[in-house]
Amino acid sequence: MKALVYTDTKQIIYRDEPDPVPAPGDVLMKVEATGICGSDMHAYHGKDPRRVPPLILGHEVAGSLVSGPDAGRRVVINPLITCGQCESCDTGRSNLCDARELIGMRLAGAYAEYVTIPSRNIIHMPDSMSAVHASITEPAATALHALNLAREASNRPLAELNTLIIGGGAVGFLAALFLRGYGCNRLVISETNPLRRESLVAHTGCRVHDPINDPPLENDAYDLVIDAVGGGVTRKPAMAAVRTGGMLVHIGLMDTEGVFDIRKLTLFEVKLLGVYCYTPADVRAAVQAIESGLLGDLNWVETRPLSEGAQAFQDLDEGRTAAAKIVLIP
């Protein structure tokens, strides 16, 4: 099969690879669409020790089954493979499974014509849904999981909160669309890429902020701050922006630089929430949210042929595209 292989830092090669062979309990899937994730970009930069080249990246995938009793069926996958037996799995928090694996991390991913996945990780794709829209399920599930945890921890409905999202990549973008869908009108997104800021305004209707050239945002002003970047450069302004009794939701995994203002955390009783991936329920709810139109027409998603994937990585790296998500089509 043809596949896009990450071979070294900033090197992605489209080449022939052996067809994957499903292990017992796995199904073989023909890939129709795979999104480029921020975590794939992180690997591309050589900064993810969990993703060791040579490796086929890609975990945001939709397609159709080739093997198994449901062969021919169109599906979305939950790329997070969990044991189903540990305490986290047992208590509905399988995203924290001790033995979790993600395709495209150690196992082969889906920038390819075919991929294998445990049959329990398959979710049927609604007939009306395109594969490109279905491939948005995984980042949508990540955004949704963050908002679900924020809702649980908040004493007010999310729609009432004055919210700042730092980072207008796919997860920040989708979090904004969910919040708009919930009726939230007090929403600012901070994003460095000018093309992406235009796209955010056009598709979410939110206020955008340029953290480099605009006057800084007001400190101590936001009930909810979502750091969808997770770097030293964003953690500090994220904590500065939270108001008394507010909440800081930390999703991004960019780096571990810098420190929080722990004094503010204490004096302001800031709730700090770490968020990782999603549960199977979040993934199913994300499929429903896309199908129902809650997230809009998703026209901001760009598609490109898998064979031109290396260029897509380069364009994302150099900020040459407005798209918060590029989906590759084999």
Site residues, Zn ion (CB under 5 A): 37, 60, 82-83, 86, 89, 97, 138
User: Rounded to the nearest whole angstrom, what is the least distance from the CB of residue 94 to Zn ion in the complex?
Assistant: 6
Alpha carbons 190 and 322: distance in angstroms, whole number: 15
- What single DSSP character describes residue 217? P
User: Rounded to the nearest whole angstrom, what is the least distance from the CB of residue 136 to Zn ion in the complex?
Assistant: 10
Cβ closest to Zn ion, residue 138 vs residue 191: 138
Q: Give the Å distances, CA to CA, from 124 to 77, 161, 220.
A: 8, 34, 44
User: Rounded to the nearest whole angstrom, what is the least distance from the CB of residue 90 to Zn ion in the complex?
Assistant: 8
Beta bridge partners of 112: 3
3-state secondary structure of 10: coil
Cβ closest to Zn ion, residue 247 vs residue 327: 327
User: Rounded to the nearest whole angstrom, what is the least distance from the CB of residue 48 to Zn ion in the complex?
Assistant: 12
User: Rounded to the nearest whole angstrom, what is the least distance from the CB of residue 197 to Zn ion in the complex?
Assistant: 22
Cβ closest to Zn ion, residue 110 vs residue 239: 110
- The DSSP-derived string for 21-69 is -PPTTEEEEEEEEEEPPHHHHHHHTT--TTSPSSEE---EEEEEE-SST
User: Rounded to the nearest whole angstrom, what is the least distance from the CB of residue 171 to Zn ion in the complex?
Assistant: 8
Radius of gyration of the chain, Cα coordinates, nearest whole angstrom? 19
Q: Give the tokens for residue 196.
A: 């992406």
Instruction: Report the candidate in 218, 242, 235, 245 with the shortest Cα–Cα distance to residue 274.
Output: 235
| Alpha-helical runs (H) found in the chain | 38-44, 87-90, 131-134, 137-153, 170-181, 194-204, 232-241, 262-267, 280-292, 309-317
Cβ closest to Zn ion, residue 161 vs residue 327: 327
Alpha carbons 35 and 286: distance in angstroms, whole number: 15
User: Rounded to the nearest whole angstrom, what is the least distance from the CB of residue 192 to Zn ion in the complex?
Assistant: 20
Cβ closest to Zn ion, residue 137 vs residue 162: 137
In b/e form, how buried is each residue of 114-125, taking b as 16+ CB within 10 angstroms? bbbbbbebbbeb
Cβ closest to Zn ion, residue 97 vs residue 184: 97
Cβ closest to Zn ion, residue 82 vs residue 193: 82
Cβ closest to Zn ion, residue 37 vs residue 57: 37
Q: Give the Å distances, CA to CA, from 258 to 14, 219, 225, 235, 296.
A: 37, 18, 18, 8, 36
User: Rounded to the nearest whole angstrom, what is the least distance from the CB of residue 287 to Zn ion in the complex?
Assistant: 15
